[in-house]
A and B are shown apart, each in its own frame.
Chain A
Amino acid sequence: MRILTPPVEEFLSDRVPTYLAVSDEVDVFSRAWKAQLPVLLKGPTGCGKTRFVAHMAAALGRPLITVACHEDLTASDLLGRYLLVGDETVWVDGPLTAAVRHGAILYLDEVVEARKDTLVVIHPLTDDRRILPIDRLATVLHAPPEFLMVISYNPGYQSVIKELKPSTRQRFISIDFNYPPPDVEAKVLSAETGLAPAVAERLVKVGEKIRNLTERGLEEGVSTRLLVYAARLLRDGAEPRSALRATLTRTLTDDRDLQRTIQEIVADFF
């Protein structure tokens, strides 16, 4: 029987994506990789977790396989399945299996979105056994030292359901993420979009003021990603108030009073 594994080249990046470090996260991640310890990235939406992983994978020269988790994700989606190709039955590796074979960095994004029974398949990979049993292939894969499991999760969700079980959680070392400090965030906006630094600084201040409203009506503060979107429109010469209405005000909330407030904050700076 043939076994198909997606080629490793598809997961390698030839350039290192920009990432501006805020604290010791680059160092902690590198050490975790060397020590073969799985990593949990905690932080609000759009604060740079995914970018950080992409950056680290490229910097460490490892292929990166990303899975965006969702509630219909099954164990077979991760492990792989049989396909019928002509007269032949072929096993096609899922992302988890492929990552183990390639010694890649496997990134499970928004891991709490996945069903709890699905997540159990990662357990043997995340303790000192570092193995992946695949019943249907009647085999057990041993993860090479380069393999690293990274998961991300957003503790800002208030839902009881979307909490990580301690049995899963305690298999990881954790790196906390938050929105970068203003000077770094302004540099991120400029670096990502080529927006003039002075304008980027003003945009970051808008973000800061809006974040003051988190827990005061706003469920989650404005993400760096959203600010990057705004920066991109501003760089292309969009009228600021209308560009920020589309990227920030309307996206952040449906609450009319709050929308009005956010738009007034925008007007404070643009």
Chain B
Amino acid sequence: MALSDRLARVWPIRERLSPAITLARTNPGALRAWVRVRGAVAAGLGEEAADAYDTLVVRAAQREGDLARLLALSAPDHLARVPAADRLRYLDVLTRVVDARPAAATMVCRILPELLRAMDDVALRPFLAQGLALHASAPREAESFLRMESNRGVQAAALVQRGTMLADHLRTLTLYARAHAGEDVEVRAGGQRSWGDGHHVYLPERVEVFGDDRDFVMYRVQTALAVGHLEFGTFALNLDRVPGDWPSKSGSESELERFFRAFPNRSLARDLFQLLADARVEAQVRSAYPGLARDLDALGPMARGVRPEPKAPAMRVVEALARMIWGLPPVTLSAPEQRALAPLEPMLVDIGERTVAELALAVARAYDRVDALMRHVQQGDLNRPAEGAGQGRAATPDDRYTPLAPAPTQSPLAPEAASEDDRALAEEAARILEQMMSEEEEGQSAGSDAQARREAKRRAKQARTDREAEEALLDGAPPGGAVVEGDDAPDRIARSATGAMLDPDGEGEVRKFVYREWDSTIGDYKPRWVCVEEQRMKEGPDEVVARIIERRHGLIADVRKRFSALRPDGLVRRRDLTDGDELDMDRVLEHQMDRRVSGQGRDRLYTRRDRADRDVAVAFLLDQSSSTNESADGTSRRIIDVEKEALIVASEAIDALGDRFAIWGFSGYSREHVAFYVAKGFSDAWDDASRRRVGRMSFRMENRDGAAIRHATTLLRAEPARARILVLLSDGKPLDCGCDHYYDRYAQEDTRIALREARQFGIRPFCVTVDPTGPKYLPEMYGEVAFAVIDRVEDLPNRLLKVYRRLAL
């Protein structure tokens, strides 16, 4: 197909061709890349983003042709990681970088998604400027600066961004929310403020009210109040139980949406309902959590933000209600304004005891009076009496009413933001709840309302999980090691790339396993996210192993001797014990003779039969990523070679000792192809074939440590040993850039969580990292798991033996 035809198919509109013309003039390669990707950008991210993308590519082309091609190809990929609301921001910032320092653009293109998440514009601008200035003299330093990995970067970031960042506390707050709600609430970054869609809790990305520790207290209060809407059932409104004329239910809309739809001026109805619902939840939270009430009071009026002084009567009434609820200095109201407010005031007494339906009814009754105030302003007649409820809800233009500025403690209800997926789940839960209620009438108690709601939701989720597992089975991926939970269907952005990866190292049947992955940016698991493909390693040539054995001949002979001396054989009878199962007749005789002769007896008279089975299963998990191709200590030997050597030596020792062991390797590309090689299974003998398999292990592609650790955990759990040990041999850089961005903090956190899971299953993980520089993030990544950093690679074989002695002997 001719290029012009393809263009015409992608954009029928002529004006859109102007980027194409610019690109065709400057760089045909960039044009080709742009044509290939542009349609997908528009389809996936929308026309607005696509326009911004055009601008970016064109600007880059004007600067440097090849840059345009690179950005045209890679920017959309990184853009896919940016939340929808931030995509224009991404393209805008990147375009400015192209203008200011084109040489840094590709690097910024990769890092920017994380930066956008970590900083708002106010902080980002000076930080980026510093990074770009640094780039002029030291490009590599600039990258670690902008990634906030170097000390300088961390300090600069701390200077530009004050306050408390959600990213730093996401897990703590998520767990906190779950403890409160008693269900798997998901906490997400919600931009400037906290809000809720009835399914998830959104928190501001940064809190900077006080500039000290109280900002975290603020976060905690916001979490408790936002979760409170779920915990105390704001979204469980059932309009059929509220007297009044309500619009009939349409599609998958929630009850709250249906409620708001009943009012011509939705903003006003929302504000009134929001204030009452927040007040009700706050009262409930205060009584349920007295410590939190005290902390909230200690924050003082600052927690409610700076209050505006509205002029329009309706807005003054709403503001007056807000201040009444929060105990702030009142708004002085005119008589008609006071009359409009009057029906709501009784609701505020013991509002914690009210039901959501009562609140809805009160809002419906007060709405007309407040709304009337606005119409009177329009008609210049402030003294006309307010009309009664339920009559003449004439349309009032929304633009006469500016919605209330929410206080930081408020958690705006945004049911319309719920995804179709969440809505379907909620409907299913509602159906189950109804069923439970009818069963209850038959005598089975479902406990409190909140408990019943939670249980219904749990069952709905379970049903869906089962359905998904079934579908996955039909897809051909056995859910053997899969842990299935959560609620997000995996998106398929990353399904491109190398689907049919030819694997020269594996042989025999490929077993597929699906695992979840920890996403530190959302503080939760992505269910069924990674596919591990387990295969047997082919045998390698003899020479590799022969060379290693020759090289380490002395050490191998030595460890075989030393370790076989430690080898126990079945049941052993231990003698000369002060306490045991049986008396040792020889010793008893000697004891009696000694006593007769010297009056002094002996005390070690007992024997005991001990089962001396070592009952240890150890697995070595070898990182076969391409980074292990780097040379060791500046010699000609590569890290992977030294690792293999250490594995062979350790295997000889463990074989001599008689412990059960396995050797696995992993590499792969993208989350759909994590290759997991079995060089020696637990049931394989340590023979020449196994040695040759280990000999074949070589550097391959990327490494996705979390998935490999999870699969190793699955395999180890099946081993019936008392002590199960997993030794991870890696270069300490979990990295899978296979188009879904497994690196940096994300990869480190997933590795940490996977190691923790292993520990929870009774496995003792130990990480041996070969990296002469010993990166700073290791303690963070390995968390509570023990690790050793080997800085002199040549030491590895000896160190690995020491590690094994410490762990298993």
Listed in ascending order, the chain A residues whose CB lies under 8 Å from chain B are 71, 74-76, 81-82, 84, 87, 89, 115, 117, 136, 157-161, 202, 205, 209-210, 212-213, 216-217, 219, 254-255, 257-258, 260-261, 264-270
Contacts and interface: CB of A to CB of B under 8 A. Distances in A.
Given A210-B179, A257-B172, A269-B290, A161 B722 contact: yes
Given A264-B172, A267-B292, A268-B289, A219 B178 contact: no
B175 A258 contact: yes
Given A160-B720, A219-B760, A269-B290, A84 B582 contact: no
A159 B176 CA distance: 27
Nearest to A263: B172
Given A84-B588, A261-B172, A268-B224, A76 B581 contact: yes
B553 interface: no
Contacts of B289: 268-269
B583 A84 contact: yes
A115 B180 contact: no
A255 B581 CA distance: 42
B247 interface: no
Contacts of B290: 202, 268-269
A161 B182 contact: no
* B interface, over-half SS: helix
A160 to B, nearest CB: 6
A158 to B, nearest CB: 6
A115 B172 CA distance: 40
A213 B583 contact: no
A217 B582 contact: no
Nearest to A268: B289
Given A74-B581, A264-B220, A267-B292, A213 B760 contact: no
A260 B174 CA distance: 11
Interface string B175-190: 1101111101000000
Given A264-B220, A268-B289, A269-B290, A76 B178 contact: no
A115 B611 contact: yes
Contacts of A82: 582-583
A216 to B, nearest CB: 5
A202 B292 CA distance: 13
Interface size grouping (class) on chain B:
35 or more
Contact of B179 (A76, A209, A254, A270): A209
Contacts of B756: 255
Nearest to B596: A87
22 contacts: A74-B608, A82-B583, A84-B583, A84-B591, A84-B605, A87-B592, A89-B583, A158-B762, A160-B720, A205-B288, A210-B179, A213-B178, A216-B175, A219-B760, A257-B172, A257-B175, A258-B172, A260-B172, A267-B220, A267-B291, A268-B224, A268-B289
B166 to A, nearest CB: 13
Given A117-B611, A219-B760, A265-B179, A255 B784 contact: yes
Interface of B: 171-173, 175-176, 178-182, 184, 220, 224, 288-292, 295, 580-583, 588, 591-592, 605, 608, 611, 717-718, 720-722, 756, 760-762, 783-784
A-B pairs with lowest CB-CB distance, top 9: A76-B581, A268-B289, A261-B175, A257-B171, A159-B762, A212-B182, A209-B179, A260-B172, A212-B179
B760 A265 contact: no
A96 B171 CA distance: 49
A71 B178 CA distance: 37
A74 B571 CA distance: 13
Nearest to A136: B582
Nearest to B587: A84
A268 B592 contact: no
Contact of B176 (A84, A136, A219, A265): A265
Contacts of B295: 267
Nearest to A89: B583
A76 B582 contact: yes
Contacts of A75: 581
Nearest to A75: B581
A74 B611 CA distance: 10
Nearest to A240: B291
A117 B289 CA distance: 51
Nearest to B756: A255
A171 B73 CA distance: 68
A75 B580 CA distance: 11
Nearest to B184: A216
Contacts of A159: 761-762
Contact of A158 (B173, B182, B184, B760): B760
B291 to A, nearest CB: 5
A35 to B, nearest CB: 30
A209 B180 contact: yes
Contacts of A213: 175, 178-179
Contacts of B178: 212-213, 216
B592 A261 contact: no
Nearest to B784: A254
A261 B722 contact: no
Given A89-B583, A89-B588, A267-B292, 20 more contacts: A71-B722, A76-B582, A84-B583, A84-B605, A117-B611, A136-B582, A158-B760, A160-B717, A161-B721, A202-B290, A210-B179, A212-B178, A213-B178, A216-B178, A219-B760, A255-B756, A264-B172, A265-B179, A268-B291, A269-B291
Nearest to B295: A267
Nearest to B181: A212
Nearest to B220: A264
Contacts of A71: 722
A158 B761 contact: yes
Contacts of B291: 266-270
Contacts of A87: 592
A225 B628 CA distance: 50
A159 B617 CA distance: 14
A202 B179 CA distance: 15
A117 to B, nearest CB: 7
Contacts of A74: 581, 608
A136 B582 CA distance: 10
Contacts of B292: 267-268
Contacts of B288: 205
A81 B582 contact: yes
Contacts of A81: 580-582
A217 B581 contact: no
Contacts of A202: 290
B786 to A, nearest CB: 12
A89 B175 CA distance: 62
A265 B220 CA distance: 10
Nearest to B216: A264
A258 B753 CA distance: 13
A155 to B, nearest CB: 14
Nearest to A161: B722
Contacts of A210: 179
Nearest to B760: A219
Contacts of B762: 157-159, 161
Contacts of B171: 257
A75 B581 CA distance: 8
A197 to B, nearest CB: 15
A84 B179 CA distance: 59
Nearest to A209: B179
B722 A217 contact: no
A245 to B, nearest CB: 14
A122 to B, nearest CB: 17
A149 B547 CA distance: 62
A102 to B, nearest CB: 23
